[in-house]
Chain A
């Protein structure tokens, strides 16, 4: 056994391979925003604000048939072990793009022609898998903003550490593990909206990690749903969605 999985098969933070970290989702945390949400996943702390639909700047960027969706994923300088330069990095620009593409299929953008919807994701503390935590929060923030949508989008990662396929990588596992597979889905429509991968996975490991990420997504979906029910109905209820 290596350093990331101990003799009892547990991970550096004591989790089993298929176990999520503690998760918390809150809605309506920023009063100025049209919609907002806050997520904690392990030590990840991400706050998301949605502004819009609003006028498009510059104007020529407006689309005649639908809204423009703009996403900005940004890490605070104090969010990492060594200070992160606050200027957007190439990594952040790429992640902003894939997050936009992950959220866009869920939104009925054609209901808001000639407008822009802005989604700002600020990673206050990062602890591995922050992009998928951000996606899960961004989707409920969009729901909180009242943007018409087909389904929520929920994200979760899987990967491989010390030869074992595991769910929801933390910072250490992300940096020192062998593979990372972040996935986001629309859980009721069974559609994949984000999939990235780096590291090394055999055929079987890829299938297993992908399945595991899907199961993780469904668990996080329950948390999103309960957060929305709590904010808008004052109660949380068990899901009506059937397990696959």
Chain B
């Protein structure tokens, strides 16, 4: 997943350089520790998908597409629609990506993004049940990573959120116990806009939105997702480094503060004042 090949010597040299810059509050690309790179959100990019979005953060670029179908509910949630998020880092996305089934990094990426969307209750899944226990809407979100330059978690998350928020799905209704197409294309039942904020610890400094270069030398990564009501709804620490208790509390605070800023940006991006 990393676009910068790790080599012990280069890694240590780069880390020393980054640490020196960070000690003065600077980064390689001139950002401050808590600044994101420019974020762009473009929706309706794939006509054949029911919803779609291309999101870029700096040079990282992903595209998310939503397909809505009918499906059988899970036995433990008979009265809820299905939401399935999948992500793939395409071989064209970086010189180090390879074709094949998703590796553990891609699986983690999809699952962490899924958790943020699911647990924030962005979609009211109860409204997506047609015949409880028998027939429900199945919302598939597939993400293709097109170019890797760090922070795939946030880029993927914003693309999934933007695609879902602009989805017009085929409407169905229940007539005499049978599911019939209505011909209408209603939006999904959106309740909130979750925002994932990914931070990296390099030395003793926490930065947001790490680039591939920064990810290659980071000690630990932490992603925390907030909903629109000031709650945290998903989290994941990654990498084989550690965080102090203070780092965790700082990350929780930063996730909420940055989350508010980015939520505004996403709202503008999806052009919906409702959520």
Contacts and interface: CB of A to CB of B under 8 A. Distances in A.
A100 B247 CA distance: 21
Interface residues of B, number: 39
Contacts, number: 99
A93 interface: yes
B235 A105 contact: no
B104 A97 contact: yes
A197 B224 contact: yes
B119 A199 contact: yes
B146 interface: no
Contacts of A98: 108, 236-238
Interface string A186-227: 100111111111111111001100100010000000000000
B108 A195 contact: no
Main secondary structure of the interface of B (DSSP, over half): mixed
Contact of B108 (A94, A105, A191, A199): A94
B232 A186 contact: no
A96 B105 CA distance: 11
Interface stretch (B174-182, B248-256, B260-268): B248-256
Contact of A91 (B111, B231, B235): B111
A190 B245 contact: yes
B23 interface: no
A210 B248 contact: yes
Nearest to B109: A94
Interface string A68-103: 000000000000001000000011011011101100
A203 B115 CA distance: 18
B111 A203 contact: no
Interface of B: 8, 75-76, 104-105, 107-108, 110-111, 115, 118-121, 222, 224, 227, 230-245, 247-249, 252-253, 256
Interface of A: 64-65, 82, 90-91, 93-94, 96-98, 100-101, 104-105, 175, 181, 186, 189-203, 206-207, 210, 214
